[in-house]
Structure 1
Amino acid sequence: MTETSPVKWGVVLAVVMTAILEVLDSTIVNVALPHMKAAFGITSDQTVWILTSYIVSAVAAMPLTGLMARRYGRRRLIMTAIIGFTVSSALCGASISIGMMVACRILQGLFGAFLIPLSQSILFDSFPVEKRGQAMALFGLGVIVAPILGPTVGAILTEHFSWRAVFYVNIPVAVLALLMMAGGLPKEDPKPAPIDWTGLILMVLAVGGLQMMLDMGESKDWFSSHFIQVSLLVFVFAGAAFLAHSLGNKHSVVDLKLFADRSFAAANIAMMGFGLAMFGTIAILPLFVQGLLDFDVLTAGYLFMPRGLAAGVTMVVTGSILLKKFDPRLLVACGLVMTGLGNIMLARENLFSGFWDLAWPGAVSGVGMGLFFVPMSTVAFQKISRERQDEASGLYGVVRQIGSSIGIAIAGWQVSSRTQIHWHDLTAHITEVNPTVQHWAEVHGIPLLSPAAAGQLTQIVAAQAQMLAFKDVFLLTGWGAFAMLPVVLLMERPHLGQGAPAAAH
């Protein structure tokens, strides 16, 4: 698109809806898992595969976006992906067994993998250079806000309809996006592009092994499991072989030379670290408020709304106003600080915290997300040519997904391990000679050495140990955001006036 071409708002709305579809599906299912577990009569370990199958297939296919777009054309690829995603969503909703569900989720992931990178590329081309911040603000509404609000939407649909509704809701949205896109996207002539099958297989093995390890590690007790050990070996050896095979290979399945761009490489590092801060916190909040604070499923879902609304409003303001006035790197740094502060505020909560005690820190982090994502994306792609946007967007999406998976894995592992540590520390002080314990028994009128006292003390210590563990993880995710601040110094400032991102054509 030229800088004077009018913005096709129908296409813009369609691709934003498409982006929302894909990322929403990665979190909307979470709250419906207990209902699926009961419907299929499966174990918790089997339930995990409903999430893992989708994420692994999506991450494995996402780097192929550039290659597939060159071979078949961007328009044909995204419309095929939308149709495939819609059909597989309908099949997920109609599933009658765990086997059918997992197979359909794999298909969902494979088709959905192309939606985010292509949506980002199309948005870039739909706006003139000086308005790329607005494009990334709209893209951020889908990529960042949708997964935050996913638990809320999923809770409402599951509570008032059925777990199947979390899949069926995709269908009308996808059909509308497809119709709007069909009349607005230009047709492209496919270009012959050889497929490096060796590199493709090695890349899929490496990315799949890493994602399987991250997704299944917590449920399988990490490296005590042979499955996780094998996944790690597959990732290490396939990854090393892929790098050795692809470096210097002009037909490589992905162009690793993209990471020679300092800003693009630094943005990917920062995005991966941001995954720990954002998704690590989002992943454990439902467990915290429902499992420990006894919030019902709808209240737990509504808890994410202030965070999502704050992120959405800040993205719009950042893309339309702030990027024109401030260095994008400064906005990225402010976003990291605000996200970190919001998470650290959560570390001050206790067992008596109410809804707004938790909502306000979430809103602070949401502001940080809005300040971070829009300028980060514009800086990352400032030197990426149009011909390489699809491929760069695919790699950027993979890094964002892996970063979120790392954050979720670390947060879950830390909650479990820190709970055990605090349990042992606290129980060491539960003795009959401890004055505090004696006072507790006197206040409650319970003989200290009675079974009733032992039972109540066990419950109290377990709750306190979990509370302390959650506080530790909130602190960890907060400091994780601050740890990414030095990476901002590696980024180049866009040279096209007033913070607008430059673009090569």
Structure 2
Amino acid sequence: MTAPAASRINPVIVVAVVLSAILEVLDSTIVNVALPHIQAAFGATTDQATWILTSYIVSAVVVMPLTGFVARRVGRRRLILTAIIGFTTMSVLCGLSWSLETIVIFRLAQGMFGAFLIPLSQSILFDAFPREKRGQAMAVFGLGVVVAPVLGPTVGAILTEYFSWRMVFFVNLPVAAMALLLLAGELPEDETEEVRIDWAGLALLAIGIGCLQFVLDQGETKDWLSSHAIQLAVIASVLGALGFLYHALTSRNSVVDLRLFADRNFALCNLVIAGFAISLFGGIAILPTFVQNLLDYPVIESGHLFIPRGIAAGISMVATGAILVSRFDPRVLAGVGMLLTAISNFMLGALNLNAGFWQLAWPGAVSGLGMGLVFVPMSILAFESISKSRQDEASGLFNVTRQLGSSVGISLVGTWVVRGMQTNTAVLSQNVTPYNPAAQAYLAPLGLTPDSAQGAAFLGQEISRQAELISYLTVFNNLGLLALATIPLLFFCKAPKAETQAQVHAH
């Protein structure tokens, strides 16, 4: 598939594809806040309600690697317009849902259409900007892809609190309408190819990735391998992945071209972006429950905590793409960004039960600054040697890696928090007895004693709170260590070509 050379940047297309990206990534986080309200509306259990999130993510992750294949077959323009229309239609149907079963089905379909939006938006932007201005392209793209999901919980909290949970789906309509109108008017037609459908590869890929995503989403809820469903999903995922790997390496018409990973930069950048996603989105996932369950923050105020992070990320994206990436080695910039991500998690890992709003918000701002420093340079390094004809496919794989990384992060932190609480409660309980002077001194101002029923209940409650606090702090520190461990991988990447750097600096 060919695309016109970008002699002049078309701002209309730039705005349109960023809106398309926002459409998908905002929806991936905005629903989380409304989930308890949806659960109450349909009388669903917590396990059942999580399928509203899981169905979307599983279908999106399975379909996303197929972006290049489908774009070659039907054309990039037709695919992105169809994806926007389908995504918006499913959003409306989600908002009109009358039962848990219907909303899960509509979310499944919404994820399938939404899967194409991020990779296509990224590759269209790459074509809209000349190579020497890719830093600017990724800064613009990053404003949508990284800032929108950070602010999603804030928007979702406001809509749910003051209107209805249904509004988190209807809010997509104006964004989609604007993106559709702009793209329909400005995005040129492109060539298509007669590509044979690789049904075997498609089935194996769907089984491998779909079952893996199911394990990550439902593992903690179902107590991992003690559940027969998780055991079967693990076996199916491994067999599907191995089967797809063999098929892709021996077939000439594989639905996904794994030879892209022969490019050193692309392979390493996928590893780094996965580590970054685990560290970043793992922390974002548990922060609302941390402040609401332990610090008694209302939903609205917990959403406000993400505003400084979003503002800092926006500033970082623009500064990195417009200024820094033309003056510094992208590997160094990404390394600094990963360091800031680690520092942010370490700051959260040093808090206590008396932490105030800004003690919780400042680490988010530090993390936001790191987001731009990681996202923009990593996108440039990953696609440094990828030809235009393979950008749709490479973008699909890169974004699948980012999505799986965030899923792994969310799954890991959920497990760490629960297991940590159990361990910490057992350890703390061993040291609190009716004869412990510290326990007696703690209860004395309240007129209680450790051997009284009220005193024992009060101590039990406090032990639970402290055990939960220690668990959360340990998780934040673990995420910080993971971010640090990812940094050395950056320096195995090849630096951008000298002539490209010279062109960037000249502009």
TM normalised by structure 2 equals: 0.97
Structure 1 contact 494–501 (Cα < 8 Å) conserved: no
Structure 2 contact 6–127 (Cα < 8 Å) conserved: no
Work out which of the residue numbers 110, 113, 120 in structure 2 matches 1:111: 113
* 1:448 partner SS: coil
**CA distance 1:344–1:499, change in 2 (3 Å):** farther
Structure 2 contact 198–254 (Cα < 8 Å) conserved: yes
Q: Over residues 448-502 of structure 1, what are the superposed CA-to-partner deviations in whole Å (9 max), with x where a residue is unaligned?
A: 2111001111110110000000000000111110010111022110114474799
Amino acid at match of 1:170: N
**CA distance 1:434–1:498, change in 2 (3 Å):** farther
Q: Show the counterpart of 1:419.
A: 421
* 1:369 partner SS: helix
CA distance in 2, matches of 1:235, 1:80: 30
Q: Show the counterpart of 1:468.
A: 470
**CA distance 1:430–1:468, change in 2 (3 Å):** same
Q: Show the counterpart of 1:289.
A: 291
**CA distance 1:61–1:442, change in 2 (3 Å):** same
Amino acid at match of 2:110: Q
**C-alpha deviation, 1:227, in angstroms:** 1.0
1:340 matches 2:342: yes
Work out which of the residue numbers 368, 378, 397 in structure 2 matches 1:376: 378
Q: Show the counterpart of 1:263.
A: 265
Q: Show the counterpart of 1:327.
A: 329
Q: Show the counterpart of 2:488.
A: 486
Q: Show the counterpart of 1:52.
A: 54
* 1:183 partner SS: helix
CA distance in 2, matches of 1:370, 1:65: 25
Amino acid at match of 1:107: A
Q: Show the counterpart of 2:402.
A: 400
1:209 matches 2:211: yes
Structure 2 contact 95–167 (Cα < 8 Å) conserved: yes
TM normalised by structure 1 equals: 0.98
Correspondence list, 1:425-444, <5 A: 425-444=427-446
Structure 2 contact 320–373 (Cα < 8 Å) conserved: yes
CA distance in 2, matches of 1:97, 1:500: 58
Q: Show the counterpart of 1:452.
A: 454
Structure 1 contact 132–500 (Cα < 8 Å) conserved: no
Q: Show the counterpart of 1:192.
A: 194
CA distance in 2, matches of 1:189, 1:387: 11
Amino acid at match of 1:401: Q
Correspondence list, 1:61-210, <5 A: 61-210=63-212
Larger deviation: 118-127 or 447-456?
A: 447-456
Structure 2 contact 450–459 (Cα < 8 Å) conserved: no
Amino acid at match of 1:141: L
Larger deviation: 135-144 or 48-57?
A: 135-144
Work out which of the residue numbers 472, 497, 501 in structure 2 matches 1:495: 497
Structure 2 contact 21–144 (Cα < 8 Å) conserved: yes
Q: Aligned pair count?
A: 502
**C-alpha deviation, 1:347, in angstroms:** 0.6
**C-alpha deviation, 1:123, in angstroms:** 0.4
Structure 2 contact 52–103 (Cα < 8 Å) conserved: yes
Gap runs ≥5 in structure 2: none
Structure 1 contact 494–500 (Cα < 8 Å) conserved: no
Structure 1 contact 328–499 (Cα < 8 Å) conserved: no
**C-alpha deviation, 1:421, in angstroms:** 0.8
Amino acid at match of 1:394: G
**C-alpha deviation, 1:210, in angstroms:** 0.4
**CA distance 1:328–1:183, change in 2 (3 Å):** same
Gap runs ≥5 in structure 1: none
**C-alpha deviation, 1:5, in angstroms:** 1.7
* 1:162 partner SS: coil
CA distance in 2, matches of 1:261, 1:189: 26
**C-alpha deviation, 1:447, in angstroms:** 2.8
* 2:497 partner SS: coil
**CA distance 1:357–1:488, change in 2 (3 Å):** same
**CA distance 1:74–1:386, change in 2 (3 Å):** same
CA distance in 2, matches of 1:157, 1:50: 18
1:20 matches 2:22: yes
Q: Show the counterpart of 1:387.
A: 389
Sequence identity, in percent?
A: 56
Q: Show the counterpart of 2:312.
A: 310
CA distance in 2, matches of 1:158, 1:403: 28
Q: Over residues 68-118 of structure 1, what are the superposed CA-to-partner deviations in whole Å (9 max), with x where a residue is unaligned?
A: 000000000000000000000000000010010000000100000000000
Amino acid at match of 2:232: V
**CA distance 1:500–1:109, change in 2 (3 Å):** farther
CA distance in 1, matches of 2:445, 2:182: 68
Query: How big is the alpha-carbon RMSD for the aligned residues of Structure 1 and Structure 2?
Result: 1.2
Structure 2 contact 32–153 (Cα < 8 Å) conserved: yes
Q: Show the counterpart of 1:250.
A: 252
Q: Show the counterpart of 1:224.
A: 226
CA distance in 2, matches of 1:293, 1:272: 30
Structure 1 contact 495–501 (Cα < 8 Å) conserved: no
**CA distance 1:501–1:78, change in 2 (3 Å):** farther
